[in-house]
Amino acid sequence: MDQALGPRKKIGLVAHDRKKADLIEWVTYNRQILTRHDLVATGTTGTLLEEALGVGIHKLQSGPLGGDQQLGALIADGEIDFLVFFWDPLEQQPHDTDVKALLRIAVVWNIPVACDRASADFMISSPLMEGTYQRQLPDYHSYIERYVTPP
């Protein structure tokens, strides 16, 4: 099963505290591209990005207060097409299980995920960002047969 993504993407933006400045700098540099898309961010990050871009961003809860899970739910509902998550691999997060769950759900639902600036630069400069794309969705029937149905 596929899902057609149009030229206007729904982009999730998240950054841990030590990575917020990097994300703000990246978003500011890519302002012209990003403002042609719909932007969703976790709480504090969203407020900072709104100020930097001067455009409205759909803000969820702060990550530790459930924002990561809200973003994961939007991914599962097909409401996020691309995730930019500048996470800090060197700092233990109190909500580390939520962080891992968000990254896991993004991979399960086959959306592009950029976890650092280099990956984000490569992905946002891809012609697929401005064009259409047929994204493959998980095959529910195979999953049920493999993991749910008793042998």
Q: Which residues are catalytic?
A: 68
What is the amino acid identity at position 22? D
Question: Element (H or E) spanning 43, and its range?
Answer: helix 43-53
What single DSSP character describes residue 63? G
CA distances from 108 to 18, 33, 115, 136 (A): 27, 26, 16, 10
Report the b/e string of 91-120 with b at 16+ CB within 10 A: eebebeebbeebbebbeebebbbbbebeeb
Please say whether the beta carbons of 40 and 57 come within 8 A.
yes
Which residues share a beta bridge with 3? 135
Give CA–CA dist 102/100, Å, rounded: 5
